[in-house]
Amino acid sequence: MSDQLPLPEFLAFLGKTELKPGGSYATGAAIRMADLTSGEHVLVVGPHAANTALFVSMTTQTTTEALVKEESEKVTESDPALKRRSTARIGRIEEMPFDKEHFDAALIEATLSYQSPDQQLSTLREVFRVLKPGGRIALHELAWRQPPTPDVERKLADVWQGAVYPGVARAWWDLLEAAGFEDVKNELAVVSYFTRQGLTADEGESAVEIFHNAFGSEQALDRFYAAYREFAENRRYYGVIIATATKP
C-alpha cells in the first residue's frame, strides 16, 4: 500500500521528484557554502545523486562522481564534455568503492538522517577517508530546530512511517567533529515538502499534479493531509540543517 511507504517514497508515489526535505534550496545553499571551484573533484550522494552530480558539474565546472545503488540510477548525458566530467559509481556509502584521499569535496544530501546515530558516525568517517586533506564536506539533513517533546517525536514517527533520525544542530556538529572534521559552519532552512514556495520551486507546474494525485484515494489524502498538518502545526520544531566542515 502506497500510504504505508516512508514519507519520501509516498511523496514520490504521488509524483514528487524532489525528495530531499530541504529541496532545491538546500542543494543550492550547500553548493554555495562548500565554495566549489573549477577543476575540483566532488563526490555526490543522496536521492537522484546522478542528476545532482550533473547539475553540480554544469554550475561549478567541477568533475563529479555520484554514488548510486544500482545501474538504473545512472543517467545518460548527450554532451560529450559533460559526460566526461560527471560519472556515477555503484556502491554503498557505508563502504565506498573509492581510494582514500580521492575527492576535493563531498556533497551529502538527505542520507545521514535515515541512519542510526552509530551508522551516521561510521558514514561520516568513510566520507572523511575519501576526502583529501583540506577537503570539504557539505551536507543537508532533517534536523530539529529545538529539542522535541516526546509527543512531537511520536507524531514524526507516525507521519514518516520509516526510520528517520534528525538531530539538533549541536548534535550534527558533534557528529562531524567526532568523525574528524573541523571548522563546522551551518545554517537552518525550512522543510519544503509542503510549503507553497517550496513545492513551486521544487516541482514547478507539476506541483498541481501532486495535489491531484493525493486526492486519488481516501487513504492517500488522509496520509498527505496528516503530514501537511504536522509540519505546519509544529514548524517551530522541524528544519533542515545545511552544514559544511573541513578535513584537517
**How many angstroms separate the CA atoms of 34 and 139, rounded?**
9
**How many angstroms separate the CA atoms of 65 and 14, rounded?**
29
Cβ proximity of 212 and 178 under 8 Å:
no
pLDDT at 143: 98
How many CB atoms sit inside 10 A of residue 153's CB? Answer: 14
pLDDT at 85: 87
* Spatial CB neighbours of 180, under 8 Å, sequence gap ≥ 6: 125, 128, 247, 248
Grid cell 575540483 is found at 40
Which triple of cell numbers denotes residue 37?
571551484
Buried (b) or exposed (e) across 80-101, using 16+ Cβ within 10 A? eeeeebbebeeeebeebebeee
**How many angstroms separate the CA atoms of 69 and 83, rounded?**
19
Q: What is the pLDDT along the chain (248 residues), one digit of tens a residue?
A: 566 899 999 999 999 999 999 999 999 999 999 999 999 999 999 999 999 999 999 999 999 999 999 998 998 767 676 778 899 999 999 999 999 999 999 999 999 999 999 999 999 999 999 999 999 999 999 999 999 999 999 999 999 999 999 999 999 999 999 999 999 999 999 999 998 899 999 999 899 999 899 998 999 999 999 999 999 999 999 999 999 999 99
pLDDT at 2: 67
Buried (b) or exposed (e) across 50-62, using 16+ Cβ within 10 A? bbbbbbbbeebeb
Which triple of cell numbers denotes residue 226?
496528516
Catalogue all structural domains in the chain, each as residue range(s) with its CATH number: 21-147+162-200+236-246 (3.40.50.150)
pLDDT at 196: 86
pLDDT at 184: 98
pLDDT at 221: 93
pLDDT at 82: 72
Helices 218-233 & 207-214, crossing angle to 10 degrees? 120
pLDDT at 47: 95
* Spatial CB neighbours of 79, under 8 Å, sequence gap ≥ 6: none
Residue among 196, 180, 188 at smallest CA distance from 237: 188
168 in the Ramachandran plot: left (φ > 0), alpha (ψ -120 to 50) or beta? Answer: beta
Residue 39 exposed, middle or buried by CB count within 10 Å (0-12, 13-18, 19+): exposed
